[in-house]
C-alpha cells in the first residue's frame, strides 16, 4: 500500500474497523482504571485505550497490557499514539496542564473533572480553544442523573435548582470539610456547606464536580444552590436535585455506591464516561 506514515504513528488508521476509537486516558486512579476495564468488557472492537498519561515518577499496572499500549508522563507521547479522543480523569490541575493542548491538537476532550470549569477564566479559555479548534468538550453526567431534564428545562423557564450531596465522613476526609465540621466525632448528619455551585466546586475539587455539572446544565454556577452533608449513617454517595421550572418540577435522588478504590467517587461515574465514549459512534443516541 502506498501510504505515507507519520513516524510517530505505528498504526495504519485505514486498517482499523471504522468505528474504532483510540482513547488516551489522562489519570489512572479510580475512574481511569474503571473506564479501561469497562471498555475491555463493553467496547471490544469499537473503542480501545491506546495510551495512558500518568504523573512523572508514578507507575501503574494497566488493566490490560498489549505491546502498543503507551504509558507516559508526557502529553506529546500520549497524543503520538494515534489517539482519537482524550478522557481526562485526573483532577483540576491536570485540566490546567493538558486541556488546551488536547483541543489544539484537534481532539475532542471528555472532561470528568467538571468542577474545574467553576473557574470562569478557565471555562472561557477552554470554550474558546474548543471553538477555535472545531472540537468539543464532552461533559459526562458522571455520578448524577437528570441532567437531560435540567438542560431541557432551561428553555422551559427553569427558575430554581438545588443540588445536595450526602456522603460518609470518610468521603469528606482530606478536604476543606475538616475545617467546617469535626468529621471523626459526628453522630448525626451535618450540613457543613451551603452556597453556590461555583463556591462548592472550587472549594471541594474532589467532591463537588457534580455541583458544577448540574449548574452548567441549568442555571449556571452562581444561581445553582448547593448543600454538602457529612452523614455517618450513610454508606452511599447520595445525590439529590430539586428543581422548579414553568415546565414542571423535578425531585431526584440517587443513592450511588462509592468506588472501592476512592470513597469520594461514585462507581457510576466511570459507567457514564463509557456511555459518553460509546455515544460518539452509535447510530442512535439516547
Ligand X SMILES: NC(=O)C1=CN([C@@H]2O[C@H](COP(=O)(O)OP(=O)(O)OC[C@H]3O[C@@H](n4cnc5c(N)ncnc54)[C@H](O)[C@@H]3O)[C@@H](O)[C@H]2O)C=CC1
Least Å from the CB of residue 236 to ligand OAA: 9
β-bridge mates for residue 158, sequence order: 245
Q: Tell me the catalytic residues.
A: 239
Q: Which spans of this chain sit near ligand OAA (rule: CB under 6 A)?
A: 143, 207-210, 237, 256, 264-266, 269
Strand locations in the chain (E): 21-26, 47-53, 70-72, 85-88, 108-111, 137-138, 158-167, 190-196, 225-230, 237-245, 248-256, 258-259, 262-266
Closest-approach residue to ligand X (CB): 29
- Cβ proximity of 278 and 43 under 8 Å: yes
Half-sphere exposure (Cβ direction) of 215: Cα atoms closer than 13 Å: 27
For residues 218 and 124, give the distance between their C-alpha atoms in angstroms, rounded to a whole number: 17
Question: Closest Cα partner for 188 from 232, 227, 229, 228?
Answer: 232
Least Å from the CB of residue 228 to ligand OAA: 10
- Cβ proximity of 88 and 110 under 8 Å: yes
Which one of 21, 22, 24, 30 is in contact with ligand X (CB under 6 A)?
Answer: 30
Number of residues that bind ligand X (CB under 6 A): 29
What is the phi/psi pair of residue 125, to 5°? -65, -45
Which of the residues 80 through 99 are near ligand X (CB under 6 A)? Answer: 89-91, 93-94, 97
> Residue 208 binds which entry of ligand OAA, ligand X, none, with Cβ cut-offs from 5 to 8 Å by kind?
ligand OAA
Instruction: Give residue for cell 481511569.
Output: 32
Q: Between 71 and 181, name the residue whose CB sits nearer to ligand X.
A: 71
For residues 75 and 2, give the distance between their C-alpha atoms in angstroms, rounded to a whole number: 30
Binding mask 40-79 for ligand X (x = CB under 6 A): -------------xxx--x---------------------
Q: Between 93 and 124, name the residue whose CB sits nearer to ligand X.
A: 93
Which one of 196, 209, 225, 276 is in contact with ligand X (CB under 6 A)?
Answer: 209
210 lies in the binding site for ligand X (CB under 6 A):
yes
**66 annotated binding-site participant:** no
- Cβ proximity of 107 and 86 under 8 Å: yes
**DSSP one-letter code for 42:** H
274 lies in the binding site for ligand X (CB under 6 A):
no
168 lies in the binding site for ligand X (CB under 6 A):
no
**143 annotated binding-site participant:** yes
β-bridge mates for residue 240, sequence order: 164, 253
Q: Between 98 and 156, name the residue whose CB sits nearer to ligand X.
A: 98
For residues 39 and 281, give the distance between their C-alpha atoms in angstroms, rounded to a whole number: 14
Which of the residues 220 through 259 are near ligand X (CB under 6 A)? Answer: none
Which one of 265, 267, 276, 278 is in contact with ligand X (CB under 6 A)?
Answer: 265
Which amino acids are annotated as binding site for NAD(+), given as ranges?
A: 143, 209
Which amino acids are annotated as binding site, given as ranges?
A: 143, 209
Interface with ligand X (CB under 6 A): 26-32, 53-55, 58, 89-91, 93-94, 97, 112-114, 142-143, 206, 209-210, 213, 262, 265, 269
Amino acid at each position: 500500500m502506498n501510504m505515507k506514515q507519520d513516524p510517530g504513528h505505528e498504526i495504519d488508521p485505514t486498517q482499523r474497523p471504522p468505528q474504532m476509537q483510540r482513547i488516551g486516558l489522562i489519570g489512572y486512579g479510580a475512574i481511569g482504571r474503571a473506564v479501561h476495564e469497562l471498555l475491555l468488557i463493553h467496547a471490544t472492537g469499537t473503542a480501545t485505550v491506546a495510551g495512558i498519561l500518568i504523573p512523572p515518577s508514578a507507575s501503574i499496572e494497566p488493566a490490560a497490557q498489549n505491546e502498543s499500549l503507551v504509558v507516559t508522563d508526557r502529553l506529546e507521547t500520549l497524543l503520538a499514539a494515534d489517539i482519537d479522543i482524550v478522557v481526562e480523569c485526573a483532577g483540576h490541575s491536570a485540566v490546567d496542564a493538558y486541556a488546551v493542548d488536547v483541543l489544539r491538537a484537534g481532539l475532542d476532550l471528555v472532561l470528568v473533572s467538571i468542577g474545574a470549569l467553576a473557574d470562569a477564566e478557565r471555562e472561557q479559555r477552554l470554550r474558546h480553544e474548543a471553538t477555535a479548534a472545531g472540537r468539543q468538550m464532552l461533559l459526562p453526567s458522571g455520578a448524577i442523573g437528570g441532567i437531560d431534564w435540567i438542560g431541557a428545562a432551561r428553555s422551559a423557564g427553569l427558575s430554581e435548582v438545588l443540588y445536595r450531596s450526602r456522603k460518609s465522613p470518610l468521603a469528606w476526609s482530606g478536604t476543606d470539610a475538616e475545617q467546617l465540621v469535626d468529621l471523626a466525632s459526628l453522630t448525626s448528619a451535618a450540613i457543613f456547606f451551603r452556597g453556590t455551585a461555583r463556591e462548592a466546586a472550587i472549594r471541594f475539587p474532589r467532591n463537588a464536580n457534580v455541583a458544577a455539572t448540574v449548574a452548567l446544565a441549568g442555571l449556571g454556577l452562581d444561581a445553582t444552590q448547593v448543600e454538602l452533608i457529612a452523614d455517618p449513617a450513610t454508606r452511599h454517595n447520595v445525590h439529590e436535585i430539586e428543581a422548579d421550572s414553568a415546565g414542571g418540577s423535578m425531585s431526584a435522588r440517587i443513592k450511588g455506591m462509592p468506588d472501592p478504590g476512592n470513597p469520594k467517587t461514585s462507581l457510576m461515574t466511570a459507567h457514564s464516561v463509557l456511555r459518553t465514549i460509546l455515544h460518539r459512534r452509535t447510530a442512535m443516541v439516547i
